[in-house]
Amino acid sequence: MKTVSGLDSLHAAHQRNVLAVSSPVWLANVPTPTNVAKAYPKEENIKVEEVRDHSLLEDIAKYPPAMKQPPTDHPEVQAVVKQLDWSKVPSIAPRKLVNGVFDLARYDYRKDADCWWSASVCRQPKLDYLPEDVYQCPRPGDWGLTFDDGPLRVWSANNTLNQWQEPHLYNFLVENGKQKATLFFIGANVIAYPAAAQRALTDGHTICAHTWSHVQMTALTNEEVVAQFYWTLKAIKQVLGITTRCWRPPFGDVDDRVRAIAWLMGMRTFLWDRDTTDWNLAGYSQGQHTMSKMDMIIKDWLNAHKNGTDDEHGHIVLQHELNNLTVSMAEKWLPAIQKEFNVITPHACMDIALPYWEENFVYPTVSNKSVSTTTTTAKATNPAGNASHSIFASKMVMIHSILSAVATLLLAYAYL
């Protein structure tokens, strides 16, 4: 089995023998737009602008209903199912949910044979042909900025709430140093607000998948997992013209079965090592945290870095463009975080310059801060896998933290 170029140094300590995968051939015929970014932008072209087109994707009727599990018998889904190498997917039964919460009683989280994050916070797959999850920045002082659940569109007649929908956050990031983030998009949201998704790509943000309907993925069957990934990847491809190589599991819920399917479909798993808990802010759904509670969490992180007790590695931080509360908290704290940390994307801190299978997008990283913004033609990729086609251009050695042995209970909450 061939090791993918670019992962050797990153996982040298674990001697991983990562399976080579290639660009998803089943997305080759997806129609792509002509009026979107074709390369990483020049900084002088990134500006504060409004999104004036609020129309849905023209082909939205060809997609599954929003925020529902897509059917598995759709011909396009079945075509993907038939192309995947199922010998590389471990035989792990779907997890059982009771009122939206996993039944952990029968799972041995100490042994954790399945590397199930929801039970053990495991981020190093037990299968050596799967890459390690990206969950923290190796270099002390780096802050990997991420936002889940976008692009945010507020479906309300209340103008006070509507003002928080995109491009509110995206404009704020432009105003604060043209700050870049990695954005984990829900597939259904992409086709519901394509102009906002396109704006994010134009601004130089890195776009990743966050499933179609934001569900606990380990509770799904294999084919249901494929359907979640397929429609999200197709939505991103049709709206943005890119095929992303990264995804983040909703609620962090992932095990080696789901990781394997994601990897075979061309995506690496991204998690986090710091959670702002903005998803739990009171005033929205069942949130229980006050604003002052979240203030305290971030203040503690800033103080730990200032006093030198946070000096082992950098961080990847969980935040959301979910509603007015999460966006306002992000905007409140970003300037202070920028003063204390080197705020970059997780891809940049991991030296991942090519976040998409299309090679015309080359992003700056910690090792190469200057990139070409000239559009090039994407190269064809061998469907059988080619070790010379680097999946991630990583050159840094990940510093590992000791994983918690305490089982993690998931909240029965619609979005994390």
Active site members: 148, 320
Exposed/middle/buried for 388, CB within 10 Å: 0-12, 13-18, 19+?
exposed
Of the CA atoms within 13 Å of residue 152, those in its CB half-sphere come to: 26
Structure tokens at 401: 């933290």
Distances (CA, A) of 41 to 145, 201, 204, 361, 364: 19, 9, 6, 9, 11
Structure tokens at 162: 């509507």
**Cβ atoms within 10 Å, residue 374:** 11
Matching residue, tokens 């299978």: 357
**Cβ atoms within 10 Å, residue 362:** 19
Exposed/middle/buried for 172, CB within 10 Å: 0-12, 13-18, 19+?
middle
- Strand, coil or helix: 208: strand
Query: Whole-angstrom Cα distance, residue 192 to residue 65?
Result: 11
Give the chain's length.
416
- Strand, coil or helix: 281: strand
Contact 280, 247 (CB under 8 A): no
Exposed/middle/buried for 50, CB within 10 Å: 0-12, 13-18, 19+?
exposed
Query: Whole-angstrom Cα distance, residue 353 to residue 21?
Result: 17
Contact 92, 257 (CB under 8 A): yes
Residues in CB range of 314: below 8 A, 6 or more apart: 136, 137, 138, 139, 140, 141, 142, 143, 144, 341, 342, 349
Matching residue, tokens 């010379």: 388
List the one residue out of 323, 251, 317 whose CA is nearest residue 283.
323
Structure tokens at 67: 């925020």
List the one residue out of 300, 274, 210, 214 whose CA is nearest residue 248.
210
